[in-house]
A and B are shown apart, each in its own frame.
Chain A
Amino acid sequence: MIHFYVCLKQVPDVYAPLQIKDGELIQDSGRMVLNAYDASALEEALVLTEKHGGKVTAVLAGPEKAKETLRKGLAMGADEGVHIVTEEGSAYDSLYYAGLLAAFFRDKEYHFISCGKQSQDTDAGLTGSMLAQLLELPYATNAVGLTLEDNRLLVKRQGDHGQEMIELPSPGLVTCSNDMNEPRIPSLKGIMQSKKKPVETIQASSLTGDGIRSVTTLLGYEEKPKREPGQKFEGDPEELAITIAGLLDSKENLM
C-alpha cells in the first residue's frame, strides 16, 4: 500500500484579468483555482494508486478560502485532506511554505511527497526542492512521467539533454510538470463524495520549526515593459533588401 502526499496550492485563475496599481496587484479573489502543476501531480498519484493500490492525501497550505481548492482535490479523488490554515492576506515566500510543510511532515510516515514543479502565480519553483532539503529527502524535479516499481518511483524527467530516467527510493519527493497528463475533471459523484472525506485542519501558528520564516520580501509589482514597436520599411524590393541587409549587419544581437 503506497501512500502519497500531494501538496496543493490555490492560485488566481490565469484567465482572470489582473491589474497593477501603485505597486499593488489587484486580482479577482473570487476566481481562484487549483495550480495546474499540482493538479497534474495529483492526477499522477491517483493513477498510480488506482493501479497499485494505496492512499492519496492532499495537503494544502493557504488561507481559509483556499479550502475550496482542497475540496476540489478531494472531488478529483484524493482520499483525505489536510488544510494548514495560514493568515489571510499575508505575503509569504517559498521558504515559509516549505518550512510549514516540513514541520507538518516531520512526524508523518509516507512513501512519496509529490508537488507541482512550480505554481502558476509566482512561477518560483522553489517550494518542492526546499521541502525535500528540509526533510532531507532524495528528490527529483520536473517529472514528465512516473512509474511505480516495488515501492520505488521511476521518474522520467525533462532534463536539458533529453529525458532522464531517475530511480527515486522511498521516502522521496518529486515535483511534477503539467504536461505529463490531463488532470481529471471532478465528476458529480466525486463532488458529492468529497463532502464526506476527512479533512484535518491545522492552524499554521501551531506548527513550529526552524524553516517557518520568510527570508525574502516582496517589495511591489510593476507592469511588464511594453515591447517596442517594430519598424516598417516600404519601397522597391531591391532597395529594401539592401536596407535590411544593412540593418542585420549593423545591429548587435540580431540573428
Chain B
Amino acid sequence: MSFDVLERSHPISFDLSEDQIMIRDSVREFAARHIAPDVIRRDMEKTFPHEIIEMLADQGLMGIYHEEKFGGAGFDTISFCLALEEIARWDASLALTVASHTSLGSGHIALAGDEQQKTTYLVPLARGEKLAAWCLTEPGSGSDSSGLKTTAVKQGDTYLLNGAKTFITQGSVGDVYVVLAKTDPSKGTKGISAFIVEREWDGVKPGQPMHKMGMNSSDTAEVVFDQVRVPAENLLGKEGYGFIDTMKVLDGGRIGIGALSVGIARGALEESMKYAKERKQFGSSIGDFQAIEHKMVNMAVETDAARLLVMRAAWRKDQGKPFTKEASMAKLFASEIAERAALEAVQIHGGYGYTKEYHVERFLRDVKLMTIGEGTSEIQRLILARELKKEMGYME
C-alpha cells in the first residue's frame, strides 16, 4: 500500500520569469527616458500626454494582458502590475490612464464582449489607437454604484440611453465608452446592463476636464448621454448582467490600483533616499540620522509588503483562482501605505518637499486618489468584512 497519493503542492516562488523581468526592465528604461524628464511640467500644466500614450502604444503597453488576437500583447496580470509600478514610480497620472484604459474600459469588453465587439472595439483599444472610458459612477451613486439612474430603454433594435456620469477617467479624451445603465429599474442590481458607446454618436456629450487635487495629467470628466441611440448589438454581455460583470471588472481594477500605489510608494522611498543622502545638516547627511533612517526603513518594508500582496492577487487572477478578497486586501493596504510613504517623503524633504521643485509633493497629491478610486478604503473594509465572515463561518 502506498501513501504517496497526496499531490504535492506547487513550490512557492518569488522569482519573476525571464519575460516578466524583460518587461519590467523595458518599462523602467522607457520611464526613465520618456516619462520622468517632463513629469513636473505635465503636472503643472495639467496636460493629457497624447504623445506619450502613442509611444506606450508602440511599446505594446496599452493592452498588456489582452489577447494577442485582439490586439493585446498577450502577457499576464503580473506583467501588467510590473509595468504600472514602473510608470507610477514617476507619473501616477499616466499609470492611472493606462490602468483604467486597460482594466476597466477595455477590460469590460474583454470580459463580456462577443467576438464581433472584441474585433470592432477591443482591437483598437488594446493597440492603443483609441482610448477607453468606463462609465459607472454618477453624481448620486458612488460607493453605492447599484443606485445609478442612467437608463437604457429598448426600442426595437436600439436602446435609448439617458443619464449623466461623473468622475469618468478618460471622460473627455476617450473614444469608446462602456456605460452602465438600468434596463429594468424594477430588478435592482439585476436590472443593470452594460453598453459600448462611441464618442461620435449623437447625444454623447463629454464634459470639460475636472480640476483636481492631483493626478493632474490624467483626464477626469463628466459625460452626459442625452437620447443616445445604442444599437442592440452594442449591449455588452447579457442584459441584466451588467452589475455582476462590473463587480468582476472592479476586482481586476483594484489589482491595478494596488500596483499603482506600490509605484508611488517606491517613488517616495527612492526620492527620499536620494534627498537624504544629498541633504547635509549638522555636518552630516540627514539620511544618517536615525529619525530619517527609521522613516525610510518603514517605507521600504511597507512597500515590499504591499508589492507581495499585489503580486499574489495578480498571480491568483492569472491562475484563474478567485481573487476578490486578495485584490481588495492588496488595494486597501497598498493605497494606505503609499499615502503614508508620500507623507513621510514630504516630511523628509522638509521645506523643499513642500515645493514643486521636487517630486514628492506631487506624490502626496496624487496618492490621495488611491484610497478613494475603485472603491474607497471604507468599501474595501466592507468587502473584506463580508469575506472574512463568510470564511470564518460567522454568517449562518
Contacts and interface: CB of A to CB of B under 8 A. Distances in A.
B296 interface: no
B23 A191 contact: yes
Nearest to A67: B18
B18 A188 contact: no
A63 interface: no
Tier of interface size on chain B: 10 to 19
A189 B60 contact: yes
B34 to A, nearest CB: 9
Contacts of B79: 188
Contacts of A68: 18, 21-22
Given A192-B73, A192-B74, A185 B30 contact: yes
Contacts of B21: 68
A185 B29 contact: yes
Contacts of A191: 19, 22-23, 26
A71 interface: yes
Residue among B18, B22, B23, B58 with most chain A CB within 10 A: B22
Given A68-B18, A195-B19, A188 B29 contact: no
A71 B22 CA distance: 9
B358 interface: no
B29 A71 contact: no
Interface string A171-206: 000000000001001111101101100000000000
Contacts of B60: 187-189
A68 B60 CA distance: 21
Given A192-B73, A192-B74, A186 B33 contact: no
Interface in A60-86: 68, 71-72, 75
Contacts of B22: 68, 71-72, 75, 186, 191, 194
Q: Is the interface of A mostly helix, strand, loop or mixed?
A: helix
Interface string A193-223: 0110000000000000000000000000000
Contacts of B58: 187
22 contacts: A72-B22, A75-B22, A185-B26, A185-B30, A185-B59, A186-B22, A186-B26, A187-B59, A188-B26, A188-B61, A188-B64, A188-B75, A188-B79, A189-B73, A191-B22, A191-B23, A192-B19, A192-B68, A192-B73, A192-B74, A194-B22, A195-B19
Contacts of B68: 192
Contacts of B74: 192
A141 to B, nearest CB: 27
